[in-house]
Amino acid sequence: MASAAMELALRNPSTLFNPKSPKPSKLRAFTLRCSSATSTAVPDLAEKPWKTSDARLVLEDGSIWRAKSFGASGTQVGEVVFNTSLTGYQEIITDPSYAGQFVLMTNPHIGNTGVNFDDEESRKCFLAGLVIRSLSISTSNWRCAETIGDYLAERNIMGIYDVDTRAITRRLRQDGSLIGVLSTEQTKSDEELLEMSRSWDIVGVDLISGVSCKAPHEWVDKTHSEWAFNSSKRDGDAFHLLGLALGGKTFKMKFGHHGGNHPVRNLRTGDVEISAQNHNYAVEAASLPEGVEVTHVNLNDGSCAGLAYPARNIMSIQYHPEASPGPHDSDYGNLGISSSTER
């Protein structure tokens, strides 16, 4: 870490700081000398801002993005998606639904609160890698146990920073999710990495077996009465399964919904709810048979975000009403679940 001792030699200091000087000279040049020393408390943090690019993200469209690495080293292939959440990066990197994907955070500053062992969403990190703009070189949180770089390295997860995440996000919005390869191996050529990205596809990969529990878990505690309802309130797979079971069809979205700020309109009440979402597939509303009602619509793209089958007192939504730390617009009362189960 750079020492606090610093010597500045300014030209013409007497005229620069002398209030009696009629025409103080302008500062034209200065020299800066820093004596450096390695801190035993944080041995490598001072090197990070001046670290040279040592990683690449090669996308299947042929674009190559130079970056700096943190976390694990090596070469990894995955589907690149972007997440618009402003907070909760630890919950995101431990979310099993990101298996096989590189998560690009649109919020530029990541790592400032470090990580702790209380906010993990699952038993491990399932994502293929993390792509961010700026990596915090310091952490400040009373629950912080270690830095995000150390956390990912211990779990063999790759990460890159100092890359133009805004430009990549615009590309994904225009072209859809792209397959990419992250690599810190300088022996691999750009052409080799490009070929890897074009020869792999996430569609058809069995991701469920890798993230599922190895054994069933029985719920033995008594369920509180407010949660004892006969409705499906799950994001992602449960919603799709219900849509298929009712005779509808599903399709893979252009770039999916990933983030904590997605607007959804409740068609029954007219209310707009800000929701947390994380899915790559949607139910095709036009394919739903008579008797199935579309109850919610995503206002970003018009996709089906909720459906109900009154004949069997069933409804489901494609986002997280229980999202923590938020938003909380989509709580039990706002969803209209009681009205759907009464019909």
Q: Do domains 51-200 and 229-342 have the same CATH topology?
A: no
Residue 49 banded pLDDT, cuts 50, 70, 90: low
| Res 221 pLDDT > 90 | no
Task: Please give the residue that has the higher pLDDT: either 136 or 338.
Answer: 136
Q: Which of 115, 77, 305 is nearest to 193 (CA)?
A: 77
Mean pLDDT value across residues 44-61: 74
In this prediction, residue 328 carries a pLDDT of 67
In this prediction, residue 24 carries a pLDDT of 45
In this prediction, residue 331 carries a pLDDT of 62
| Res 26 pLDDT > 80 | no
The per-residue pLDDT of the chain, averaged, comes to 80
| Res 51 pLDDT > 90 | no
In this prediction, residue 101 carries a pLDDT of 95
Domains in the chain: boundaries: 2-42, 51-200, 229-342
DSSP per-residue letters across 274-321: EEEEEEEEEEEGGGPPTT-EEEEEETTT--EEEEEEGGGTEEEESSBT
pLDDT (tens digit, 9 = 90+) per residue, 230-270?
Answer: 444 444 567 888 898 999 999 889 888 888 888 999 999 99
Residue 77 banded pLDDT, cuts 50, 70, 90: very high
| Res 326 pLDDT > 50 | yes
3-state helix, strand, coil in the chain (%, to 5): 20, 35, 45
| Res 45 pLDDT > 70 | no
In this prediction, residue 41 carries a pLDDT of 37
Domain 51-200 of CATH type 1.10.730.10: no
Q: Are 318 and 239 in contact (CB under 8 A)?
A: yes
| Res 298 pLDDT > 70 | yes
Mean pLDDT value across residues 163-179: 95
In this prediction, residue 295 carries a pLDDT of 93
In this prediction, residue 277 carries a pLDDT of 86
Task: Please give the residue that has the higher pLDDT: either 212 or 134.
Answer: 134
In this prediction, residue 216 carries a pLDDT of 84
In this prediction, residue 233 carries a pLDDT of 42
DSSP per-residue letters across 22-86: SSPPP---EEEEEEE---SSSSSGGGGGGPPP-EEEEETTS-EEEEEEEEB-SEEEEEEEEE--S
pLDDT (tens digit, 9 = 90+) per residue, 172-195?
Answer: 999 999 999 999 999 999 999 999
Task: Please give the residue that has the higher pLDDT: either 341 or 22.
Answer: 22
Domain 229-342 of CATH type 3.40.50.300: no
Q: Are 272 and 262 in contact (CB under 8 A)?
A: no
In this prediction, residue 27 carries a pLDDT of 40
In this prediction, residue 42 carries a pLDDT of 39
Task: Please give the residue that has the higher pLDDT: either 343 or 339.
Answer: 339
In this prediction, residue 339 carries a pLDDT of 33
Among 93-97, 201-205, 218-222, 310-314, which stretch is predicted with the lowest mean pLDDT? Answer: 218-222
Q: Output DSSP code: residue 13.
A: H
